[in-house]
């Protein structure tokens, strides 16, 4: 049997260059990956110590309700336990939302460029995807509102946005929610929430009390450093969470992931030290970009999108040859730029030297 027609136009997710490939290709000993906005400072020692114990009795299915993590997270966020839905990464929560709400004849609205899985999963459901270009890295919220029609089911707001790092501030989100019809679901993806330092960060969880058409997404993959364990979550009304929990697989997060996430939540020292180092190293990197006269988008995340006078691929290839994997804007739907995850100080110092010498002939 043939797959859906839409698959003719789609390709499987192709991750950026992997460390081992680059080692072989360039004969390098050490590779530093600053391409996927992972935490360069690793993860909590308390998680590391607990993993051997969490990884026993693997013959038994995990707790499909993620009871302990659910209780801990509900307490921390001050929401009801049944307002939460866990996924194998927030990637899976995106998929669950699309499978629950989208079908042929419906449409969904995304920014361009933004996190690609919204579009990917919507297309698989047969929905039309309306892409509204960003304004200098920020969502064009007015344009997104205007694109809403009778068949619109979901609007995706990625804030801060990947790949630009720009935040939708409180006033903008409130104005958007007020104008958005209540039968259109608004998904606010806050994968980089913990990194935000702006005082104008909206309290999207608080907004759930006011808007019954809102889902907030968060993840343990970024600031908590658990990307390899695959666990993220959605927070919404009990009514919507119930539907999403019907759609999701019964044992979609592992015991190791649930246990590690619970411990990671408790280890505020690790989280805060990662955030502090990120802020400091990012400031230093932005100062370097300013000195070089390179433009970039405002970033409230652990990455910076740098605009370049050359193609993103050219700088990407150059840094690759020096042992640094970053993300070319070409691959992210934004040519003439690169997205660089903020790394450790020594790596940022080295990367700056390489960028300076590579761009010297053109700036």
Q: Which stretch binds ligand PMP (CB under 6 A): 83-91, 139-147, 171-179, 234-242?
A: 83-91
Q: Which stretch binds ligand PMP (CB under 6 A): 84-92, 149-157, 166-174, 243-251?
A: 84-92
Please identify which residue in 35, 79, 91, 256 interacts with ligand PMP, judged by CB under 6 A.
91
3-class SS of residue 292: helix
Please identify which residue in 83, 221, 252, 281 interacts with ligand PMP, judged by CB under 6 A.
221
What distance in Å separates the CA atoms of residue 115 and residue 158, rounded to the nearest whole number? 7
Asked whether the beta carbons of 198 and 190 are under 8 A apart, the reply is no
> Which is nearer to ligand PMP, 22 or 216 (by Cβ)?
216
Rule CB under 6 A: is residue 97 a binding residue for ligand PMP?
no
Rule CB under 6 A: is residue 90 a binding residue for ligand PMP?
yes
Asked whether the beta carbons of 100 and 127 are under 8 A apart, the reply is no
Please identify which residue in 89, 113, 137, 234 interacts with ligand PMP, judged by CB under 6 A.
89
Please identify which residue in 225, 232, 259, 312 interacts with ligand PMP, judged by CB under 6 A.
232
Least spacing, CB of residue 232 vs ligand PMP, in Å: 3
What distance in Å separates the CA atoms of residue 79 and residue 208, rounded to the nearest whole number? 9
- The region that residue 328 occupies, defined by phi over 0 for left and psi between -120 and 50 for alpha, beta otherwise, is beta
Nearest to 124 by CA among 40, 7, 33: 7
Q: Which stretch binds ligand PMP (CB under 6 A): 15-23, 87-95, 146-154, 266-274?
A: 87-95
> Which is nearer to ligand PMP, 305 or 358 (by Cβ)?
305
Q: Per-residue x/- marks for ligand PMP, 233-272, CB under 6 A? A: ----------------------------------------
Nearest to 264 by CA among 42, 80, 60, 61: 42
Q: Retrieve residue 153's tokens.
A: 């089911």
Residue 156 CB-density burial (10 A; 0-12 exposed, 13-18 middle, 19+ buried): buried
Rule CB under 6 A: is residue 274 a binding residue for ligand PMP?
no
Asked whether the beta carbons of 127 and 272 are under 8 A apart, the reply is no
What distance in Å separates the CA atoms of residue 64 and residue 86, rounded to the nearest whole number? 9
Q: Measured at CB, which residue is nearest to ligand PMP?
A: 89
Please identify which residue in 95, 189, 194, 300 interacts with ligand PMP, judged by CB under 6 A.
189
End-to-end CA distance of the chain: 55
In this structure, the number of other CB atoms found within 10 A of the CB of residue 231 comes to 27
Least spacing, CB of residue 110 vs ligand PMP, in Å: 11
Rule CB under 6 A: is residue 40 a binding residue for ligand PMP?
no
Chain positions contacting ligand PMP, by CB under 6 A: 37, 89-91, 115, 158, 162, 189, 191, 219, 221, 227, 232
């Amino acid at each position: 049997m043939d797959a859906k027609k839409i698959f003719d136009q789609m390709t499987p997710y192709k991750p950026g260059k992997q460390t081992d490939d680059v080692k072989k290709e360039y004969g390098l000993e050490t590779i530093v990956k600053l391409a996927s906005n992972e935490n360069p400072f690793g993860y909590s020692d308390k998680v590391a110590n607990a993993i051997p114990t969490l990884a026993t009795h693997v013959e038994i299915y995990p707790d499909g309700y993620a009871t302990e993590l659910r209780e801990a997270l509900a307490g921390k966020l001050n929401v009801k336990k049944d307002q939460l839905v866990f996924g194998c990464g927030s990637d899976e929560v995106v998929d669950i939302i699309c499978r629950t709400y989208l079908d042929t004849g419906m449409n969904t609205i995304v920014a361009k460029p933004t996190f690609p899985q919204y579009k990917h999963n919507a297309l698989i459901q047969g929905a039309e995807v309306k892409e509204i270009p960003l304004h200098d890295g920020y969502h064009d919220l007015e344009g997104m509102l205007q694109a809403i029609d009778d068949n619109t089911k979901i609007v995706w707001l990625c804030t801060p946005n990947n790949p630009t790092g720009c935040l939708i501030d409180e006033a903008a989100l409130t104005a958007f929610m007020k104008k958005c019809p209540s039968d259109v679901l608004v998904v606010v993806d806050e994968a980089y929430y913990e990194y935000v330092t702006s005082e104008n960060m909206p309290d999207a969880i608080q907004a759930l009390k006011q808007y019954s058409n809102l889902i907030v997404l968060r993840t343990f993959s970024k600031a908590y450093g658990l990307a390899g364990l695959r666990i993220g979550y959605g927070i919404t009304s009990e009514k919507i969470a119930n539907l999403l929990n019907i759609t999701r697989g019964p044992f979609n997060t592992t015991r190791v992931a649930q246990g590690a996430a619970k411990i990671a939540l408790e280890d505020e020292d690790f989280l805060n030290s990662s955030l502090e180092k990120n802020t400091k190293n990012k400031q230093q990197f932005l100062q370097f970009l300013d000195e070089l006269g390179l433009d970039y988008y405002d970033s409230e995340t652990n990455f910076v999108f740098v605009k370049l006078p050359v193609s993103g691929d050219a700088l990407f290839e150059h840094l690759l040859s020096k042992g640094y994997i970053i993300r070319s804007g070409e691959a992210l739907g934004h040519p003439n730029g690169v997205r660089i995850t903020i790394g450790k100080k020594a790596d940022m110092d080295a990367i700056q030297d390489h960028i300076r010498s590579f761009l010297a002939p053109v700036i």
